[in-house]
């Protein structure tokens, strides 16, 4: 067991907001299950509701999806961007850990008053991200080293706020990981990917134009990537974050 991990002393409540079945929590969920945390879900694609209260939630993890923060209810009836941003802001104001992945990261930025933007490049596959000096001196991120190959599946990127710190970037996107505060993090990249999740994404997205983009892998390349190292790095980040959160609560 990782030396940073203290959750055996306190069971935590992890709540996932999931927009589509093919944007599942993957390695985030595996981490929570490994340490027997209480796990609850808002599977919006199944009609499940957002949590009415964040009082008993410790980690709110908001997953990705094909939507954008601007997607109207008329276009996607199970995605209420304004209501979701209110829950995110409520969790942030309550001092909870909030992690956003892809769309989730963009929603965090919006909830904090920013505006998401188009990424310079569409990225789908496994490509390296580079960690900034902010990351190399950050207690939660220094174990990532200077660079790491991670999963990608996006066209947009989250906004920056006055207090935000860029933790990592890639050649195709200048905002891969953002620390919005001590407890709030946006991951444009997908460190939760597993081969099973990638297979689901391939089934539900059109990547037929892969040959025309420098940062889109072909199907056979996507399914043969090894995602274990980035999963392990993510788990260590979550271990350290859980330990820090528990010491404050």
Domain ranges of the chain: 12-248
Residue 182 has pLDDT above 50, yes or no: yes
pLDDT at 9: 54
pLDDT at 207: 86
Average pLDDT over residues 162-170: 97
Fold that domain 12-248 belongs to in CATH: Rossmann fold (3.40.50)
Quick: pLDDT tens for 98-149.
999 999 999 999 999 999 999 999 999 999 999 999 999 999 999 999 999 9
Residue 246 has pLDDT above 50, yes or no: yes
Determine the Cα–Cα distance for residues 212 and 99; give it in Å rounded to an integer.
Answer: 32
pLDDT at 6: 44
In three-state secondary structure terms, 57 is: coil
pLDDT at 4: 44
Structure tokens at 242: 């859980």
Determine the Cα–Cα distance for residues 234 and 84; give it in Å rounded to an integer.
Answer: 24
Q: Determine how many CB atoms are found less than 10 A away from the CB of residue 230.
A: 23
Quick: pLDDT tens for 184-228.
999 999 999 999 999 999 999 988 887 788 999 999 999 999 999
Residue 150 has pLDDT above 50, yes or no: yes
Residue 2 has pLDDT above 80, yes or no: no
Average pLDDT over residues 10-30: 97
Residue 71 has pLDDT above 90, yes or no: yes
């Amino acid at each position: 067991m990782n030396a940073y991990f203290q959750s055996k002393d306190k069971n935590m409540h992890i709540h996932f907001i999931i927009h589509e079945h093919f944007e599942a929590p993957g390695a985030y969920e595996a981490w929570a299950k490994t340490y027997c945390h209480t796990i609850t879900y808002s599977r919006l694609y199944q009609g499940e509701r957002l949590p009415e209260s964040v009082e008993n939630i410790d980690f709110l993890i908001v997953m990705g999806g094909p939507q954008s923060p601007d997607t109207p209810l008329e276009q996607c009836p199970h995605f209420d961007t304004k209501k979701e941003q209110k829950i995110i802001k409520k969790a942030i104001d309550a001092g909870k850990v909030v992690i956003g992945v892809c769309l989730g990261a963009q929603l965090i930025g919006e909830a904090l008053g920013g505006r998401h933007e188009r990424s310079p490049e569409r990225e789908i596959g496994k490509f390296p991200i580079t960690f900034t000096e902010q990351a190399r001196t950050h207690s939660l991120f220094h174990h990532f080293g200077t660079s790491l190959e991670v999963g990608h599946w996006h066209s947009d990127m989250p906004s920056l706020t006055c207090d935000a710190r860029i933790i990592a970037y890639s050649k195709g996107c200048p905002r891969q990981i953002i620390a919005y505060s001590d407890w709030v993090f946006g991951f444009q990249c997908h460190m939760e990917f597993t081969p099973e999740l990638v297979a689901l994404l391939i089934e539900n997205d059109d990547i037929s134009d892969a040959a025309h983009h420098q940062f889109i892998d072909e199907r056979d390349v996507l399914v043969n990537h090894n995602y274990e190292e980035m999963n392990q790095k993510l788990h260590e980040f979550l271990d350290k974050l859980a330990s820090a959160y528990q010491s404050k609560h």
